[in-house]
C-alpha cells in the first residue's frame, strides 16, 4: 500500500512538474499573421482552378482565401455576358467603398488586346470586373456558395475588408486558369 502511494505521489509530482515546464518552456504562440504586420501587398494571384486568391508582398504570401468566380469559370473572358472571369495580368485601377457588393477593387479590364479581339469578333468585351464582397442586399452574415458572379472575383465581406486594407491602386493582379 505504501509503495502504491509512493508511486502515485511520484506520478502526480512528475505530471505537475511536466505541466509547469510545458507552460514555462514549451512552444511559444505563433507570430501574428503577416497580414497584420504588412502595410500593403504588391501582387494578387488568383488561381481559378483552385478557386484561391493569394496576396503577397515581396514574394511572401501574407493572405490567402477561397473565391467565387463567374458562373461559367472555365476559360478566358471573351465577351459581355459570357460569365467568365478574365485571365492574364491586370492592375487595380479603382476602389469603390460604395459598391453594391460591400467593397470592391476594380481591375483594368478590358485591356487594349481584349478590345481589339472583341472588335475583330464583333462582340462587346464586357467590363467592370472587380474583386468584391457579397451583395449588400444579403447583409453581412451570408456568403453565397459556388460561382455566381458575372465574371468578377468574390470573397466574404470580412475577407474583403482585410484585402481592402492591404491593396492600393496599381497593385498587380495575375489571374491564372
CATH for 52: 2.40.440.10
Cα distance between residue 149 and residue 131, in whole Å: 10
Number of domain units in the chain: 2
Are 11 and 70 part of one and the same domain?
no
* DSSP sequence for the chain: -HHHHHHHHHHHHHHHHHHHHHHHHSPPPPPPPGGGT-S--SEEEEETTTTEEEEEETTEEEEEEE-B-BSS-SS---STTS-PPP-EEEEEEEEETT-SSSSEEEE-PSPHHHHHHHHHHTS------EEE---GGG-TT----SS-BSS-EE--HHHHHHHHHH--TT-EEEEE-
Average pLDDT, the chain: 86
**Mean pLDDT confidence for 8-19:** 54
| pLDDT for res 26 | 45
Are 41 and 23 part of one and the same domain?
no
Are 136 and 100 part of one and the same domain?
yes
Are 14 and 42 part of one and the same domain?
no
Range of the domain at 9: 1-30
Other CB atoms within 10 Å distance of the CB of residue 57? 18
Are 84 and 163 part of one and the same domain?
yes
Are 19 and 88 part of one and the same domain?
no
> Per-residue pLDDT for 22 more than 50?
no
**Mean pLDDT confidence for 78-107:** 96
The single residue listed with the C-alpha cell 497593385 is 171
Please say if 79 is a catalytic residue: no
Cα distance between residue 68 and residue 135, in whole Å: 13
Are 73 and 126 part of one and the same domain?
yes
| pLDDT for res 54 | 97
Are 124 and 158 part of one and the same domain?
yes
- pLDDT band per the 50, 70, 90 thresholds, residue 34: low
Are 24 and 53 part of one and the same domain?
no
Are 92 and 148 part of one and the same domain?
yes
Task: Report the percentage of the chain scoring pLDDT > 70.
Answer: 79
| pLDDT for res 63 | 95
Are 94 and 124 part of one and the same domain?
yes
More confident residue, 5 or 165: 165
**Mean pLDDT confidence for 62-70:** 97
Are 88 and 111 part of one and the same domain?
yes
Amino acid at each position: 500500500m505504501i509503495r502504491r502511494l509512493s508511486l502515485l505521489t511520484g506520478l502526480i509530482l512528475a505530471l505537475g512538474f511536466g505541466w509547469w515546464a510545458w507552460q514555462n518552456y514549451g512552444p511559444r504562440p505563433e507570430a501574428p499573421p503577416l497580414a497584420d504586420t504588412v502595410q500593403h501587398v504588391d501582387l494578387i494571384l488568383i488561381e481559378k482552378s483552385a478557386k484561391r486568391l493569394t496576396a503577397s508582398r515581396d514574394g511572401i504570401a501574407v493572405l490567402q482565401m477561397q473565391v467565387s468566380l463567374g458562373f461559367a469559370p472555365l476559360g478566358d473572358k471573351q465577351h459581355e455576358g459570357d460569365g467568365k472571369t478574365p485571365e492574364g495580368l491586370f492592375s487595380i485601377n479603382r476602389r469603390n467603398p460604395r459598391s453594391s457588393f460591400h467593397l470592391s477593387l476594380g481591375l483594368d479590364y478590358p485591356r487594349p488586346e481584349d478590345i481589339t479581339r472583341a472588335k475583330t469578333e464583333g462582340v462587346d468585351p464586357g467590363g467592370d470586373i472587380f474583386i468584391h464582397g457579397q451583395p449588400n442586399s444579403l447583409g453581412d452574415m451570408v456568403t453565397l456558395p459556388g460561382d455566381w458572379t458575372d465574371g468578377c472575383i468574390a470573397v466574404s465581406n470580412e475577407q474583403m475588408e482585410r484585402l481592402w486594407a492591404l491593396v492600393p491602386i496599381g497593385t498587380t493582379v495575375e489571374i491564372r486558369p
